[in-house]
Amino acid sequence: MNINFKLIISNYTDDALLELLKDNANEALQHIYTNWREGFLHWVQNGYGCNETEAVDIFQESVLGFYKSFKKGKLEDINSSLKTYFYSIGKYQALNYFNKYKKKNSIKSSEEMAKWLPDEEPVEFETEEENPVKKFLDKMQDPCKTILISFYYYEMSMANIADQLNYKSIDVVKAQKYRCMQRLKKVVQKEMKKKA
Amino acid sequence: MSEKKKFHSLTKKFGFESKSNELESDDESKQLLEEDANYFQHFIGAVDEIGDLDLRAKMKNWEKARSTEIKSTLEEEEDSFQENMLYREIMSASERSKAIKVKTPKRQFEWKNEIQTFTFHKKIKEVLKFEVEDNCRKSVATGVFEMNEKSGKAELPLKVLKNGRYYLKIFSTTEFLLLDFYIKNTKPSI
């Protein structure tokens, strides 16, 4: 019988949060969402004059940007706290958001905002590319899609995936993952042949 | 460049190194990717895009859950202020009590401080006990009045009681009185 004891922590240190991101990204992201949301919304609404809905959008884009930074290993080398880095992403996202919707005269003095900024480069956001695999991966039924996204995107361990999906063992997950990978490749190659 | 070398350089380029031990040990899946670097590049690009969509969907759910939680906390609090209809009947009957007649506070008062003072029309010679129930008739506190001729003090642990309507039962050996009051000290936790 697998018994999981979940320790409920309201505030992680930066090191602990990084460890949690490596071990269970889903839980770490949910923790960030729950615990950083209020402060961030307050900050972005005050600083950028946006309403709550816009602030939530910016927050969610910032969480995504933060996770991308983590996957690229950028969080290991920052000089500021994780939260400060998160806010620097938030600033970038807010400016992006308002440039997009052409909102002017809503940004307060940069002096107040500057205290949140570390001496870091803003996160680079990749441009979208055409992708033949994307269409079929998106259409995949569970458990394939969940297994592949959990492993390759959230970088969950096989043990965690087995737990999440109630599989009996890691070997069962591995075997299922391989079948899913085979199926996906077969479908993509078939499609590519048709187009060629 | 061999496919294997291309695979490793792409692995590095796209930061696909986490869980590398598991990636390395998962020989069959790894082979599927290694065979074709072009496919691998598209695969990890697809995983990134679909993964981003998945995370966005998760965040929307967390946001929804948050709103539901707030709504149900407020609804719960609204319920706790509802009148108990049985006790409404009993209150009318108990007002005819001759021995225990409360002068102040009046019915539906707000119990603001832990110690509440009551004044009575008559001098109370007996020991007066009390019991407090919530609007679902669940007992939450009991005690004894600290009497001084025509007034008495009762103490409630307000910090542990939720906002809502409560019923105060006052007992002597022969008489009984029922009053209702409110606690409005704390806001619902959001």
DSSP secondary structure letters along chain B? --HHHHHHHHHHHTTTTTTHHHHHH-HHHHHHHHT-HHHHHHHHHHHHHHHHHHHHHHHHHHHHHHHHHHHHHHHHHHHHTSPPHHHHHHHHHHTT-SS--EEESPTTEE--SSEEEEEESS---S--EEEEEETT--EEEEEE-EEETTEEEEE--GGGSPSEEEEEEEE-SS-EEEEEEEE--SPPP-
Higher pLDDT, A97 or A62: A62
- Does residue B121 sit in the same domain as residue B164? yes
Q: Last residue of some domain: B48, B78, B108?
A: B78
Single-letter residue type at B5: K
Do B122 and B61 lie in one domain? The reply is no
Q: Looking at the predicted structure, is the pLDDT value of residue B86 above 90?
A: no
pLDDT of B59 strictly over 50? yes
**What confidence score (pLDDT) does residue A124 get?**
43
**Residues of chain B positioned with their CB less than 8 A from the CB of A174:** 26, 29
B18 contact residues in A (CB cutoff 8 A) = 22, 71, 155
Determine, yes or no, domain membership for B60.
yes
For residue B4, the model assigns a pLDDT of: 56
B8 and B62 within one domain: yes
Give the pLDDT confidence score for residue A119 in this predicted structure: 44
CB A53 within 8 A of CB A67: no
**Is position B188 within any domain?**
no
Asked if pLDDT for residue B81 goes beyond 60, the answer is yes
- What residues are paired with B166 via a beta bridge? B134, B181
In chain A, % of residues over pLDDT 70: 78
CA dihedral B163, B164, B169, B170 (to 10 degrees): 50
pLDDT at residue B24 greater than cutoff 50? no
Give residue limits of the domains in chain A: 14-114, 132-195
pLDDT at residue A42 is higher than 60:
yes
Name the band, by pLDDT with cuts 50, 70 and 90, for residue B14.
low
Average pLDDT of the residues of chain A:
81
Task: Place B17 in a pLDDT band, splitting at 50, 70 and 90.
Answer: low
Q: Does residue B9 form part of some domain?
A: yes
- The residue type at A78: I
Instruction: Say yes or no: B110 and B46 in one domain.
Output: no
- The model's pLDDT over B160-181, given as tens digits with 9 standing for 90+, comes to 788 889 999 998 888 888 889 9
Residue B190 lies in a domain: no
* pLDDT beyond 70 at B186: no
pLDDT tens digit string along A47-56?
888 899 999 9
d(CA A181, CA A192): 16
Residue B125 is assigned to a structural domain of this protein: yes
Quote the pLDDT of residue A154.
Answer: 92
Q: What is the CA radius of gyration of chain B?
A: 33
pLDDT band of residue A39 (cuts 50, 70, 90) is very high
Can you give the residue range of the structural domain that contains B170? 85-183
Average pLDDT score over residue span A4-15: 60
Clarify whether residues B9 and B57 are in a common domain: yes
Task: Pick the residue from chain B with its C-alpha nearest to A61.
Answer: B56
For the segment A120-139, the average pLDDT, to the nearest whole number, is 65
B69 shares a domain with B89: no
Q: Tell whether B75 is within 8 A of chain A (Cβ).
A: no
Q: Are residues B97 and B145 in the same domain?
A: yes
* Domain A14-114, second-level architecture: Orthogonal Bundle (1.10)
ipTM of the complex: 0.79
Whether the bond into A132 is cis, omega within 30 of 0: no
User: Which domain-ending residue is among B55, B78, B101?
Assistant: B78
| pLDDT attached to residue B32 | 80
Distance from the Cα of B145 to chain A's closest Cα (Å) equals 42
Provide mean pLDDT across the span A17-23. Answer: 90
Domain count, chain B: 2
Looking at the domain assignment, is residue B189 inside a domain?
Answer: no
Q: Judge: domain A132-195, CATH 3.30.1450.
A: no
Given B78, B96, B112, the domain boundary residue is: B78
Residues B28 and B94 in one domain: no
Query: Is the pLDDT higher at B184 or at A105?
Result: B184
CB contact under 8 A, B46 and A133: yes
Residues B149 and B103 in one domain: yes
Are B60 and B90 members of one domain? no
In eight-state DSSP terms, residue A113 is H
Instruction: Specify whether B125 is located in the same domain as B163.
Output: yes
CB-CB contact of B40 with A143 (8 Å): no
Question: Could you tell me how many CB contacts below 8 A there are between chain A and chain B?
Answer: 95
Is residue B111 scored above 50 in pLDDT? yes
- The rounded percent of chain A whose pLDDT value lies above 90 is 45
Domain CATH for B140: 2.60.40.3080
For residue A164 the two structure tokens come to 């999440």
State the average pLDDT for chain B.
Answer: 80
Q: Which of A134-148, B62-76, B110-124 has the lowest mean pLDDT?
A: B62-76
Distance from CA of B31 to the nearest CA of A (A): 10
Contact B50 A71 (CB under 8 A): no
Of B158, B182, B98, B166, residue with least CA distance to B130: B166
Highest mean pLDDT among A19-23, B55-59, B70-74: B55-59
- Collect all residues with Cβ–Cβ distance below 8 Å to B117 and sequence separation of at least 6: B151, B152, B153
